[in-house]
Amino acid sequence: MIGPFAIDTIFPAFPAIEDDLSVSRVAMQQTISVYLLAYAFGSIFQGPMSDSWGRRPVILAGLAIFGLASLGAAFAHSFTMLLVWRGVQGASAGVGMVVGRAIIRDLYEGDDAQRLMSHVTMIFGIAPAIAPVIGGWILPWADWHGIFWFLVGFTLLLMVMTAFGLPETQPPARRYPMHPASLLRNYVAILRNGRFVLLCVCGGFNFGAIFLYISSAPAFVLDILKLNEQQFAWFFVPTIAGIVFGSFLNGRLAGRFSGRRTVNLGFLLCGIAATGNLLYNLLIEQPTAPWAVLPVMLNAIGVALVFPLLTLAMLDMYPRQRGAAASMQAFIGLGFNAVIAGVIAPLAQHSTLALMLTAGGFSLAAWALWRLYLFHRREDPLPVDTESVTPGPAERV
């Protein structure tokens, strides 16, 4: 959870950082986009490194770099240095998400993989939701630098837990040397896989409908809903509840619903959420909490039903290169999120209607791409449905 967690912890501190470093709200938005761009490019290498060197060492090294970057940000006294350290944070933060997904697919298949991936999606979704709440709690006791000191302590805790509690799931027999030329060839081959790219972009649009609101949280909570820095929970608690419930429901449906039916149900909920959000914004002049947040909550349930299954389908396409596949998925998805945070959110966050129309467009685009995937993959829509990928002797753990 450390990657998305670090994105949003500083949201309540935006006004304080603006005053302290003499920057605008639009400039502050770049602390998110710089982080995400570095996150995306760093994730390209983390998966293949874990395929070659093992999952555990790569996670520990990434956490160590992230902790040092958080320490640097805690001492930053200029906006330029803050951006630099945010970039280093982003470049190292992806080890949890990228390598973690590969570990799940190392150990589990079929319904078990779906259940555990739904739990990971829940944690991944909870992280950016609780982060601003924690940031708001820290601010009354310390200035904005204190938030980065908190991240230093959080990273140290994760390093200890990883060092003593995480086994290695990529044995030497399954490792292969990492060469730049072969890495490039692998990524070119993955990008030429139309089904993989289609699901990546579909997942990006699907999660983007929620991430648009998350990245616009400072404007949405402070300017539109007229709440203060300690009231971010009015937005994030319902969002957390939606992600938690959707992930729980996803796990319960594993083995009872096919992957295709579960994804269709998720998209149905996203469509209902977009329709309800539109009606609310057309009927209400001044949006208020919690009513303005309830459609986001329903959308979060739908996202939590869709996203884990799309991820498993993509990883199953490359059973011997799961790290590389997870890296490419993260690169495409995070690159999309960086565009949302740095370009789309500043344009849409001036009103709830603009946010709703943009998020609804994302959900509609994701659904259209899903239908296109089904049209070209009728015989086996999601590999997790049939456990079609059977590991060879060297891949069994």
The pLDDT of residue 382: 60
Residue 77 pLDDT exceeds 80: yes
- Whether residue 336 is predicted with pLDDT greater than 60 in this model: the reply is yes
Quote the pLDDT of residue 388: 38
The confidence band for 389, taking pLDDT boundaries of 50, 70 and 90, is very low
Q: Residue 156's pLDDT is what? A: 95
Residue 169, pLDDT score:
84
Task: Give percent of the chain with pLDDT exceeding 70.
Answer: 94
Q: Quick one: CA dihedral 322, 325, 327, 329, positive or negative? A: negative
User: Could you state, in order of their start, the residue ranges of all structural domains in the chain?
Assistant: 2-386
Dihedral sign, CA of 266, 294, 362, 8? negative
Summarize pLDDT for 91-106 with one digit per residue, the tens.
Answer: 998 888 888 878 887 8
pLDDT in tens, 2-15: 887 888 788 888 88
pLDDT digits (tens, 9 = 90+) for 255-282: 888 888 999 999 999 999 999 999 998 8
| Bridge partners, residue 254, by sequence | 257
User: Taking residues 355-378, what's their average pLDDT?
Assistant: 90
Asked if 105 and 311 touch (Cβ cutoff 8 Å), the reply is no
Q: How far apart are CA 317 and CA 325, in angstroms?
A: 8
Q: pLDDT per residue over 307-324, tens digit each?
A: 888 988 888 888 777 777
What is the reported pLDDT for 254?
A: 82
pLDDT at 378 over 70: no
Q: Would you place residue 381 in the very low, low, confident or very high pLDDT band (cuts 50, 70, 90)? A: low
Can you give the pLDDT at residue 395?
A: 35
CATH number of this structure's domain 2-386, picked from the four choices 3.50.50.60, 1.20.1250.20, 1.10.3720.10, 1.10.357.10: 1.20.1250.20
Tens digits of residue pLDDT in 105-146: 788 877 788 788 777 777 776 777 678 888 888 888 888 899
Q: HEC states along the chain?
A: CHHHHHHHCCHHHHHHHHHHHCCCHHHHHHHHHHHHHHHHHHHHHHHHHHHHHCHHHHHHHHHHHHHHHHHHHHCCCCHHHHHHHHHHHHHHHCHHHHHHHHHHHHHCCHHHHHHHHHHHHHHHHHHHHHHHHHHHHHCCCCCCHHHHHHHHHHHHHHHHHHHHHCCCCCCHHHCCCCCHHHHHHHHHHHHCCHHHHHHHHHHHHHHHHHHHHHHCHHHHHHHHCCCCCCCCHHHHHHHHHHHHHHHHHHHHHECCECHHHHHHHHHHHHHHHHHHHHHHHHHCCCCCCCCCCHHHHHHHHHHHHHHHHHHHHHHHCCCCCHHHHHHHHHHHHHHHHHHHHHHHHHHHCCCHHHHHHHHHHHHHHHHHHHHHHHHHCCCCCCHHHHCCCCCCHHHCC
167 preceded by a cis bond (ω within 30 of 0):
no
pLDDT of residue 370: 94
According to the per-residue pLDDT averaged within each range, which of 36-50, 66-80, 133-147 is highest? Answer: 66-80
Taking only the tens place, the pLDDT of each residue in 163-187 is: 999 888 888 877 777 777 777 888 8
User: What are the pLDDT digits (tens) for 188-243?
Assistant: 888 888 889 999 999 999 999 998 998 888 888 888 888 876 777 788 888 888 98
HSE (CB half, 13 Å, CA atoms) of 264? 10
Q: Give the whole-angstrom CA distance, residue 293 versus residue 235.
A: 6
Burial 370-397 (b: 16+ CB within 10 A, else e): beebeeebeeebbbbbeeebeeeeeeee
Query: Over 70: is that where the pLDDT of 38 sits?
Result: yes
Closest by Cα among 343, 121, 345 to 246: 121
Percent of the chain with pLDDT over 90: 31
pLDDT at 379: 52
